[in-house]
Copies of this chain bind each other. A is one copy, B any other.
Amino acid sequence: MLVVQKYGGTSVGNPERIKNVARRVARTRDEGHDVIVVVSAMSGETDKLVKLAHEISETPDEREMDTLISTGERVTIALLAMALKDMGYKAQSFTGRQMGIITDTAHTKARIEKITAERVHDALKEGKIAVVAGFQGITAGGDVTTLGRGGSDTTAVAIAAALKADVCEIYTDVDGVYTADPNVVPNARKLEKISYEEMLELASLGAKVLQTRSVEFAAKYNVPVHVRSSFNDNPGTMVTKEDREMEAVVVSGVTCNKNEAKITLVGVPDKPGVASRLFGAVANDNIVVDMIIQNVGEGGLTDLSFTVPKTDAKKALDLTQKINAADIGAKDVSLQENIAKLSVVGVGMRSHSGVAAKMFDALANEGINIMMISTSEIKISCVIDAKYSELAVRVLHDVFELGVEQVAA
């Protein structure tokens, strides 16, 4: 069996922890498997390098930024390979280049185009454990690139896809994917398995377990991903293709994202092209808009609300005010930052109706006002006042009986 394992920054945060990871990797090797290990930079190292760059320049050049921050993972691969060799195992480190991870030229957020993996085949054939630097690649022209924050997950999944690994194990500091945040919901339950689609919604909704792009990659190439803890031996959560058993479960999880802010234009004169001009300008400024709601109000005036990441809120507000003054003529533009986006996710929604009604009812019963609603095939999201977010998560977790093991119909 070929096993790809990925260990994050916390798992390799100091020499003792690196030795601990080496013992885990060695155990997998002892079980007779071929092993490729992908590692992140030691926790805190990437931030330290970014800070250095900002002491040099307010807007550091992105090509140089990649040369700089890719060093963190190179340190870890060398140390882990040393640790494995010290234990008597054959091991060899691979930088992004040595692994043949070819990306486009979009520095600091490059996308993997292919993995040539020439040298790693020989290493595996010689019985070596391959220790690969996550987060980094190389352009066809030979420049170093990085894949953006959390890119090591993507590296691991992409390697598993390219080498047709039997499983890609993502080791993290939690036991797996839960029905809700266990810090908020005491009886939150670890899911044994979850579909790529559900994981995608959860990842992009802020469940912080797996990077969104790595899940897209896994879904595209059908790579079974096992999310588990590097601090114990508990089985984690398998992320796989949707199966019949999953469809029987209407809702798999409840999440809450407090990282968005809402901008509202009140009293927008109803003339064509308003939305297009506004959101065109916002997109040009590289601000990602999540939800948009427009309602016709009295006297032919409409109200328009949209959400953006909190970090971009001020920038988006300034821009919206400028465009409003020049072009739109709404009565008022306001920003609300104390909001939360509450979501329920489940592939079973495709075949079950009434989920939305049940959600709205439950919130209404608690007196929680819904400001915005958006839905997809397998997800319903509501924007609510942030102060109710923990309460709302607990209520929905109960209403959809997520604390109870759900058996296939």
A residues near B, CB below 8 A? 15, 18-19, 49, 52-53, 55-61, 63-65, 67-68, 70-71, 74-75, 77-79, 81-83, 85-86, 92-93, 95, 97-98, 119, 142-144
Contact = CB atoms under 8 A, between A and B. Distances in A.
B78 A64 contact: yes
Nearest to A53: B82
Given A52-B15, A56-B19, A119-B142, A67 B95 contact: yes
A78 B86 CA distance: 32
Given A56-B19, A86-B57, A68 B74 contact: yes
Given A67-B77, A74-B68, A82 B60 contact: yes
Contacts of A19: 56
A85 B75 CA distance: 27
Nearest to A61: B85
Contacts of A56: 15, 18-19, 79, 82-83, 86
A56 to B, nearest CB: 5
A53 B19 CA distance: 11
A79 B18 CA distance: 28
A109 to B, nearest CB: 17
Contacts of A85: 57, 61, 64
Contacts of A83: 56-57
Nearest to A57: B86
Contact of A65 (B63, B78, B119): B78
Contacts of A79: 52-53, 56, 64, 68
Given A57-B83, A65-B78, 4 more contacts: A19-B56, A52-B75, A58-B86, A59-B86
Given A64-B82, A67-B78, A78-B65, A142 B57 contact: no
A88 to B, nearest CB: 11
A15 B75 contact: no
Contact of A55 (B15, B67, B95, B98): B15
Contacts of A63: 92-93
A68 B79 CA distance: 7
A59 B87 CA distance: 11
B61 A95 contact: no
